[in-house]
Amino acid sequence: MSLVKNTMSVSGFTLLSRIFGVIRDAVIAMVIGTSAQSDAFFITFRPFDLLRKMFSDGIFSISFVPWFSRYIETGRKDQAVSMVFSALVMLSALGVFLVLCGVLLAPWILQVMAPGFVPGSERFSLALVLFKIMVPYVWIIMVISLCMGVLNTLGNFWLPGMTPLLFNLVVILFTLFAAGYFDIPVTGLALGIIFGGLVQLGFQVPFMVQHGMLGPARFVICHPGVVNTAKKMIPCMVGAAPFQVNILVVSFLASFLAEGSVSFLYYADRLVQFPMSLIAVSFSIVLLPFFAKKAAIGQMTHITPVFDTGVRLVMFVTMPAMAGLMALNDPIVRLLFGQGAFDAHAVTQTAACLFYLATGLWAFIGSRVFVTLHYAVSSIWHPFFAGMICICTNLVLAPVLSGLMGINGLALSVSLSSGAGFVYLVFHPPARVRFSRIHMLISACRALFLSVIMAMSVRWAATIIINDAHGKLFLAAGVTVCVVMGITLVFLAAAALKFPEIDLVKDWLKKGSQKD
DSSP conformation letters of 28-88: HHHHH-SSHHHHHHHHHHHHHHHHHHHHHTTHHHHHHHHHHHHHHHTT-HHHHHHHHHHHH
Mean pLDDT by 10 residues, the chain (516 residues): 54 70 81 77 82 64 72 76 84 89 89 78 86 91 85 74 84 84 84 92 87 68 75 74 87 84 87 80 67 70 76 86 92 85 85 94 89 78 91 95 92 95 89 78 88 92 79 84 90 85 63 46
Q: Which of 317, 330, 356, 272 is nearest to 448 (CA)?
A: 317
Q: How far apart are CA 268 and CA 266, in angstroms?
A: 5
Torsion of CA 481, 482, 488, 494, to 10 degrees: 180
**Which are the contacts of 491, defined by CB distance < 8 A and separation ≥ 6?**
502
Inter-helix orientation angle 3-32/261-276, to 10°: 160
**Which are the contacts of 69, defined by CB distance < 8 A and separation ≥ 6?**
153, 289, 292, 293, 296
Q: Where are the domains of the chain?
A: 3-511
pTM for this model (two decimals): 0.75
Q: How far apart are CA 44 and CA 27, in angstroms?
A: 19
SS3 (DSSP) at 425? helix
Q: How far apart are CA 99 and CA 137, in angstroms?
A: 8
Reported for 114-122, long-range contacts at CB under 8 A and 24+ positions apart, including other chains, are 114/43, 114/44, 114/252, 114/255, 115/252, 115/255, 115/256, 116/252, 116/253, 116/254, 116/255, 116/256, 116/257, 117/40, 117/43, 117/255, 122/36
Evaluate whether 72 touches 154 at the Cβ level (below 8 Å). yes
Range list of β-strands (E), 244-330: none
Amino acid symbol at 99: V
pLDDT given for residue 429 in this prediction: 82
- Residue 118 phi/psi, 5-degree rounding, is -75, 125
pLDDT given for residue 416 in this prediction: 96
pLDDT given for residue 1 in this prediction: 44
Report the 10 Å Cβ neighbour count for 212. 14
Q: How far apart are CA 251 and CA 254, in angstroms?
A: 5
Angle at 271 between CA 444 and CA 129, to 5 degrees: 140
227 alpha-carbon distance from chain centroid: 26
pLDDT given for residue 453 in this prediction: 92
Q: How far apart are CA 124 and CA 43, in angstroms?
A: 10
CA–CA distance from 42 to each of 35, 38, 168, 260, 274 (Å)? Answer: 11, 6, 16, 10, 18
